[in-house]
Structure formats: structure tokens, C-alpha cells
Structure 1
Amino acid sequence: MKKMMIAFAAVALSALAFMPAQVLTIGSPMPDVANISMQDVSGKQVTLKQLTTGNGLLVMFSCNTCPYVIKNQARTKEILSYAQQQQIGVAVLNPNEAYRSKDDSFEAMATYAKAQGYNWAYAIDKNHVIADAFGATRTPECFLFDSKGILVYHGAIDDSPSDADAVSRKHLETAIQELKKGAAISVPTSKSIGCSIKRLSN
């Protein structure tokens, strides 16, 4: 019995070791990960600091094959292009480290980005360090920071992740508009619906 208890405790501690930090709350500064170098599909190394503009930064955790990512492909391109038009930096990060030798390899990411017509950074979040620091759990999942690096919106692109035809409110687009106006974000959080991030413990 004692051996079983010890084994159970070891498994529990091991699982906890791979749990992400508590999710970043609205009004929090960006965690100390802005200078971490990441491999982008362009072949260059990028950091969140480099990608941040004077108007802020939109970070989206995503991947190649999650059904919810696929359902949101058109909306993803639309909102990221919109963010760029508003001179907000864009970083799409792939944290699926457990799938790095499979569908979320660097080569697969590069192929996916080309097929999707990405003209923004799509980089490897190695060992899901940034996802862990943000407390991200899903793909897709969005974090919008203002010019001072303060989180102003966290959640989904809109209120109908599984059905584009049923969208009644574009949460992220509205948050970007309000950010640009210097107004308070009317809906600062929403529920991210998608595939779980494939962490190394999964």
C-alpha cells in the first residue's frame, strides 16, 4: 500500500510539473518571455519584443491540424491581417512540442504557412515555454497586449469558434478597435474553444 501511495504521488508530481502557469489575467504585464528566440518559418529567429509595435502585440497560439484551427482558418487570416492594418504586431506560435516530429514539425509548419498565405511570424514555441508562461491551454487562443505590454484581451476570435455562419460578435476585432481608440475593452475575456496544447507530458 505504501509503495502504491509513493508511486501515485510521483505520478501526480510529474503531471503537475508539466502544467502551465495560471492563465494570465487582464491587466497583467507580459511575462518575462519577450526576449526568447524562436524559429520562424522564414528561417529567421524572432522574439516577441521584435514583433511588438508601438500599438501593441497580438499573440495567437495555433497549429496545423486541429479541427478548430481549420474551422477558423479564414477568420484567422482576416483578423491577423486586420491587426497588421492597425499597426499591431502579430505572432502566431505553435506550442505543440509533443507533435514536433509529426504534424507540427517545422517543415509542416512552413508548408502550412505557405498554403495559408501567412505574411506574419509563425514560430515554434519550443518546449511550450511561452504558452506555459501565458497559461495558454488551447489552439487557437489569443492574447492581445497594448503598447505598454499589458494584456487587454484574452480568448477566442469571436463568439462562434465552431461555426463561422453563427458569429454574432467579433470579440477580438472589437477589442482591437477599442484598443486603438484608447477605450476600455468592453469584453476583455471570452472562452477559447479548440484542441488542447500538446505538451510534452501529454
Structure 2
Amino acid sequence: MKDTAKRALLALTMTMGLTTAALAIEPGQGVENFRLLDQQGKSHELHSLSDRKAVVLMVQGNGCPIVRQALPALAEVRTQYRSQGVEFLLLNSNLQDTRELVAKEANEFKIDFPILLDDSQLIGEALGVVRTSEVFVIDPKGWQLKYRGPMDDRLSYERQRPAKNHYLTDALDAVLAGKPVATPYADGVGCLVNFPERAHKTSHH
């Protein structure tokens, strides 16, 4: 069986509970288990991280300047929170981004996060991914989504500015303290991720 087919089968097997109608998981809802391979061929299963205090998943895409600008800040957040039991992963749902191309991007831009390859797009569809650079904060206690949106409000399509709202770190502080997240959703910027099957289904509704 080819490697791509194996990844698709693994993703399908781990997401049998995800319906095609669930195209936008909202904070407060549960995140189903999944297993994907990263750019180095290592397998990652979401629910195997049950010993973590929180899981942060950022949507990545090759060549996206917004992601490239956001990743150094995400690395800083990882340095701050990893010792507190927070896991950080990237998710690539772009059909055109093969493992080889993703690995090349990671090497070129010194990205040392695992980049999970969602080449079947099942996970991206289930999460309701629209743009890159969006982050998902998941609480392993019940696997509930606590926050989705940008890391902060520093980036825009035109320029960078000092951040006034630190959504990601605020969400992590709340989850670690066992408190509600004050801002569970925020709008952000990023490169569009194309989901042909999603568009096909929508056109027939």
C-alpha cells in the first residue's frame, strides 16, 4: 500500500465518528481522535496525549507568509508553556503540499514543530479549517475545544502591529488553571485552504 493511501486509511479509521456535516467545531464541542503522520514519517495520535495539560494545533501551509511570520511567536509560546505540559503541533491540510515539500519548507525555515499531513483533508474538514495560522486549543480532559482563532491580533494582511490581545496565552492560562476561556473564539488572518470536496458538497445542498 502506498504511503499516501496508508495515511488516508489511518485518518479515516481514526475519524469514523466525524460526520461530513461537522464542518465547524466550536469551542465547547468535543474533538474526535485522529492519527496522522508528520513530515518525518512519525505517527501522532491526538488522544495519546491524554497526559498533557493542553494541546495546541496550528494550521500550517507551505509558502504562506502569515504562517512564516507567526511561527517564531508560536515557538516563544511553546518555550513558555511546554514545561507546563502543553503539546504543540502543526496541521497541513493543503492537497498540494506533499511530505517532501513540507519537509523542505521545514528545513528551509527551521520549523522544528511536527507538521501533521492531512492529505485526505478529513481532519481539516472535521475541524472546519478555512485559513492557515488559526490555532486550536484542546483540553485533554474530555477532549473539548477551548479556543480557536489567531494567536493574537498582531498580524494583519497589510502590516504587523503590537498585540493588544494575546488570545492563545490567555486561553492556555485559563485551561491550565481550570477556568473558562474568556475569549473562546476570535477572527484572524491567513492563507485560504482549498477543500474541493467541501465545495462539492456545498454546491449540492
Alignment gaps of 5+ in structure 1: 1-18
Match of 1:128 among 117, 121, 131: 121
Question: Which structure: larger Rg?
Answer: 1
Q: CA deviation at 1:111?
A: 2.2
Match of 1:192 among 188, 195, 201: 188
Q: CA deviation at 1:160?
A: 2.6
Render the CA deviation track for 1:117-139: whole Å, top value 9, x for unaligned.
44432120122111111111110
- Structure 1 residues 96, 43: closer, same or farther in 2, change over 3 A? same
Match of 2:73 among 65, 75, 79: 75
CA RMSD of aligned residues (A): 2.2
Q: CA deviation at 1:52?
A: 4.9
1:5 paired residue number: none
- CA distance in 2 between counterparts of 1:118 and 1:161 reads 19
Does the residue aligned with 1:139 lie in a helix, a strand or coil? coil
- CA distance in 1 between counterparts of 2:49 and 2:101 reads 22
**Is 1:144 the equivalent of 2:137?**
yes
- CA distance in 2 between counterparts of 1:127 and 1:200 reads 11
After the TM superposition, which residues 154-169 of structure 1 pair with which residues of structure 2 at under 5 Å, given as runs? Answer: 154-162=148-156, 163-169=159-165
- Give the TM-score normalised by structure 1: 0.77
- Structure 1 residues 111, 50: closer, same or farther in 2, change over 3 A? farther
- Give the TM-score normalised by structure 2: 0.76
Q: CA deviation at 1:174?
A: 1.2
**Is 1:45 the equivalent of 2:43?**
yes
Alignment gaps of 5+ in structure 2: 1-19, 200-205
- 2:153 and 2:188 in contact (8 A); partners too: no
- 1:52 and 1:89 in contact (8 A); partners too: no
**Is 1:172 the equivalent of 2:165?**
no
Q: How many residues align?
A: 176
